[in-house]
Structure 1
Amino acid sequence: MQDMGIEVLLQGNNLQRLLGGLWVTLWISFLSVGISMVAGLAFGIIMTSKNKFIFWISRAYLETIRIIPQLVFLFLFYFGLARGFNINMSGELAAIIVFSLWGTAEMGDLVRGAITSLPKHQFDSGLALGLSKGTLYRYVIVPQVIRRLLPQAINLITRMIKTSSLVILIGVVEINKIGQQIIDFYRTSSPSVSLWIYGVIFCIYFLICFPISAFSAL
């Protein structure tokens, strides 16, 4: 009889465990995304400041986040800072902190680019009408910025969801870790189990990310 690794999903509570791992993945991803979108909007506005000190601090933060791989930051926070300073930090919390810092930097740069691409007369006209800077940004600048950066922001969101798979390397039991545990248990009795389990995980990521990506084309 042909080996059918897909049957492994229906044995015991394997499917339930896989869905539980999916919940951990989504929780880490979407919480990080939510923090990044809000903080990134504020950071992008700050990056447009003409103050040289603020400009260089912002650039240093942005370039540091871009240059250093997210995996290194995960190790630094979870194995370095948490263990080195005896801080009780779970892998999930370390992942949320790292992905939020990354997402804030990337989102901030998108916001900065969208703001600087707006015609200068919109700023001058708003200030000439007596609008405060806060009111000008709230009712004139930010709504336009959101429309301009929506496609890039959605691309960032899908990247963050996919990159969340790195948390397996700091011991977080998410969908990839559960999948690996199932594969290890059935490797001998069902040699093709790897193909089916990772195939299912592939489909799950696609079903999550494709609708989000398609939304940018609307």
Structure 2
Amino acid sequence: MGEDTHQHADALDWDERYGDDQLWSGHPNEQLVVEVSDLEPGTSLDVGCGEGADSIWLATRGWCATGIDVSARALGRAARAAEVAGVEVAWRPIGLEEFDPVTHDLVIAFYPALLREDGAVIETLLGAVAPGGTLLAVHHAFVDREVALEHGFDPDDYVGHDDLVAALTDRDGWTIELAEQRARTAPEGPGAHHHTDCVLRARRS
């Protein structure tokens, strides 16, 4: 099976997950609001943007926002929500692996499904951050691997919070500003179930 076929199958899988009804609350992630409200607006990239609430929130605050996701169904909802909000966001139906080498002042990745493989995707993620820019990555804490395996995926196959922290630790040109577990308020939306986040905020010098 070729790379294009894998990507097509992955997109179909995510379209199926998003189903016929909205999956998330439509509100921005609370860690985004906490960590980004003090930043000067610039260009932003939302990796795995889903139904687009985070990119839309950024756009309403003056960011030139781009959201990427493999699910056309999710992006369709995102585009409609942006229209209702009266903002423009560039929605692109691609995964991070296909992303052009363009840098952004802010790169966010909330609960990303990035395959670990040879580590190249981490370099792509970090390379998307412009000099002086910020990376904000949020992962689920306390993932039950056995439960995940029962649902057909192995969390060890994916880039996690610890992988990013390790990649950034002592790396020239980067400063980890925050790396911690943080409780969430009550999750919203039918797709939300967890109550604790791993939050990483890093700046590229």
Q: Which structure features the higher share of helix residues?
A: 1
Higher relative contact order (CA 8 A, sep 6+): 1
**For the superposition of Structure 1 and Structure 2, which TM-score range results when normalised by the shorter chain?**
under 0.3
TM-score by length of 1: 0.21
